[in-house]
Structure 1
């Protein structure tokens, strides 16, 4: 079985300690939720086990705050979460110690903002698109019905996806040379393009990895006598920065049977099964290791 030997090697080589605090950083689409149905029932039991053991499940997604909040309610997850490819970290009030960090209080959250505000980003988007006459279409130019048709979301869910705060998903209909030109123009203006499952995403200088590093430090400051040990689960290229910042990177198999190619990382675990089934399988494999006591 793919991953078994690697898991055994990693755990056998690791220093055996009394207690580690396990953090689970996870993508949503194609990872914790099914790419097409957006269901997570195959991972429900594993999620329940993590909740019972008070092991944080930290969603780290390209989705908006409104979308992630919906899934947090459905999954009953009380922990922090990261939205729009690392653009902002939402931490519930009176939850964790924010030592030396700048944050804004927004309702029930303390928010660490790493991304470019949507209004500013869209202004650059529109100007650059017009200047280069690029054949592209962003969420800001789509109706809720269009977003629903492209994603398979309900109209209500598509309205949540349209509530962007830091990024602009878009479709590109031009040549690869033109795409590289578009990338160069945005980079000159301090913006970057990442590739998601269905769309490209225009963002600021944020990525999932930067957000994960900040959250790991926050947990280390909050639990100074406990070693923090992080797992990351994702299936796409925009998950690479996150996977590069955890102790155990896990690439979830796609429905096509393939895995995202992740160059430059050391040891990587690849799930046998796709989507939430693969997610649950790898979580149970970690929890089943007898050499560690997780908190």
Structure 2
């Protein structure tokens, strides 16, 4: 890019930009239009796969921006489609097989089971199984044995991140790491991150402004450093309604409502 972008928005998906139950982003459409109008960037940051994120990124009108996939395990380049390669996934599955039993990942489930666990259609569940870098799932063993499993995973070189629905294992890399890299490359005047789950906290703290989007389907995040100063905010509305509320309020606060100064 030759011009400095006024604002880059980094956004979690499920329970944040997407409604927890319907997966609709429609309530955020007006805020997305406002961001496009000023030439802002939107970088989706999710545990979802490249196969899931590519069509969504196209639909919301930000295909010319990168996306953070699989909780930071990889990046989807601007303009790249949904084609995927195996990546680290086979090695990850092999490492998981050597751990104490009790974790049931997407690779252990049928598409029908994933659809039932997520509310996705079966076709969408198949896209969720097209993994390259990480394995989401649920702990099905005794709760008392979960700390031991997590310790064994760490000793095996794996990173565990708790999202809104699933515990995700990977070889490392976080949303916050990817956000830092994109900020260093793009150097926007302002940056905003929005999320609702524990695996979003570091991302919210990495940008100039962070927004905790209300999610009535999960325990609320604890008070974070920066909330008293306004660095971290919380929405009154949940999901995409809250997303739009926060984005439009910040655009007004920063007086970013005129013609764009640059493009992604």
TM-score by length of 1: 0.78
- The residue that corresponds to 1:206 in the other structure is 173
Change (3 A) 1:288 1:258: farther
Structure 1 CA distance for aligned equivalents of residues 223 and 169 of structure 2: 21
Following TM superposition, by how much is the alpha carbon of 1:262 offset from its aligned partner in structure 2, in angstroms? 5.0
**4+ residue segments displaced more than 4 Å:** 290-295
- The residue that corresponds to 1:165 in the other structure is 132
- The residue that corresponds to 2:113 in the other structure is 146
The reply to whether residue 237 of structure 1 matches residue 205 of structure 2 is no
Q: Which of 117, 122, 128 is the matching residue for 2:88?
A: 117
What CA deviation, in whole Å up to 9, does each residue of 1:50-72 have, x standing for no partner? Answer: 11221001101110000111211
* Structure 2: gaps spanning 5 or more residues: none
Structure 2 CA distance for aligned equivalents of residues 211 and 263 of structure 1: 21
Following TM superposition, by how much is the alpha carbon of 1:290 offset from its aligned partner in structure 2, in angstroms? 5.5
Following TM superposition, by how much is the alpha carbon of 1:40 offset from its aligned partner in structure 2, in angstroms? 0.8
- The residue that corresponds to 1:268 in the other structure is 232
- The residue that corresponds to 2:74 in the other structure is 88
Given that 1:259 and 1:270 are in contact with CA atoms closer than 8 Å, whether structure 2 keeps it comes out as no
Given that 1:28 and 1:61 are in contact with CA atoms closer than 8 Å, whether structure 2 keeps it comes out as yes
* RMSD of aligned alpha carbons: 2.2
What CA deviation, in whole Å up to 9, does each residue of 1:96-123 have, x standing for no partner? Answer: xxxxxxxxxxx669x9xxxx81111110
Given that 1:216 and 1:228 are in contact with CA atoms closer than 8 Å, whether structure 2 keeps it comes out as no
* Structure 1: gaps spanning 5 or more residues: 1-18, 94-106, 221-226
Following TM superposition, by how much is the alpha carbon of 1:286 offset from its aligned partner in structure 2, in angstroms? 1.0
Structure 2 CA distance for aligned equivalents of residues 277 and 215 of structure 1: 26
Structure 2 CA distance for aligned equivalents of residues 167 and 91 of structure 1: 18
Following TM superposition, by how much is the alpha carbon of 1:90 offset from its aligned partner in structure 2, in angstroms? 2.2
Given that 2:8 and 2:42 are in contact with CA atoms closer than 8 Å, whether structure 1 keeps it comes out as yes
Given that 2:11 and 2:17 are in contact with CA atoms closer than 8 Å, whether structure 1 keeps it comes out as yes
Pick the structure with greater CA Rg.
Answer: 1
Given that 1:84 and 1:166 are in contact with CA atoms closer than 8 Å, whether structure 2 keeps it comes out as yes
What CA deviation, in whole Å up to 9, does each residue of 1:27-78 have, x standing for no partner? Answer: 0000001011000110011111111221001101110000111211221212
- The residue that corresponds to 2:19 in the other structure is 34
Change (3 A) 1:156 1:262: farther
- The residue that corresponds to 2:98 in the other structure is 127
Pairs within 5 Å for 1:170-249:
170-220=137-187, 228-249=189-210
Structure 1 CA distance for aligned equivalents of residues 255 and 32 of structure 2: 22
Change (3 A) 1:181 1:263: farther
SS state at 1:244 partner: helix
Q: Which moved more, 1:45-54 or 1:242-251?
A: 45-54
